[in-house]
Amino acid sequence: MPTGKPLHDGFVPGRYAIDAYGGGGFRFADMSHKGSILALPSGIRAWDARTPADLTLDAFAPVMREAGAFDLLLVGVGADLAPLDEAVLWGLREAGLRVDVMQTGAAARTYTILLGENRRVAAALLAVG
């Protein structure tokens, strides 16, 4: 994974494409970050979730706070596809979110493509090794 400036205070304002992923982190906006991220309309922030088991409704609280600012949430659940807990999925849907769960690589690529099309998209991405 390329090196660069660290994620400042766990938050970088603005919308940025994901340039690279792997090695336990992500590269975007000429910076790199080790760990999982939330790519939201307000910016990209560090995310404490590490495994699919960490994907609780509480973990998605920052996402739900911005629910009206995007139309689709892409959830990257790691290197292997794993379903979201049914209660979490329904909680996100009840908050008005349309959710698509996929492997992190697919979610990062899809997010970048949709962002490039100026679509209203957000992503919750677990880091992969």
Task: Dump pLDDT digits (tens) for 69-116.
Answer: 999 999 999 999 999 999 999 999 999 999 999 999 999 999 999 999
Task: Dump pLDDT digits (tens) for 31-65.
Answer: 999 999 999 999 999 999 999 999 999 999 999 99
Taking alpha carbons only, the member of 120, 110, 113 closest to residue 41 is: 120
Q: Would you tell me how many other CB atoms lie within 10 Å of the CB of residue 112?
A: 19
Taking alpha carbons only, the member of 57, 51, 17 closest to residue 36 is: 51
Q: Are 70 and 122 in contact (CB under 8 A)?
A: yes
The full set of domains in the chain, from first to last, is 8-125 (3.40.1230.10)
pTM of the model: 0.92
Q: Look at phi and psi of residue 85 and say left if phi exceeds 0, alpha if psi is from -120 to 50, else beta.
A: beta
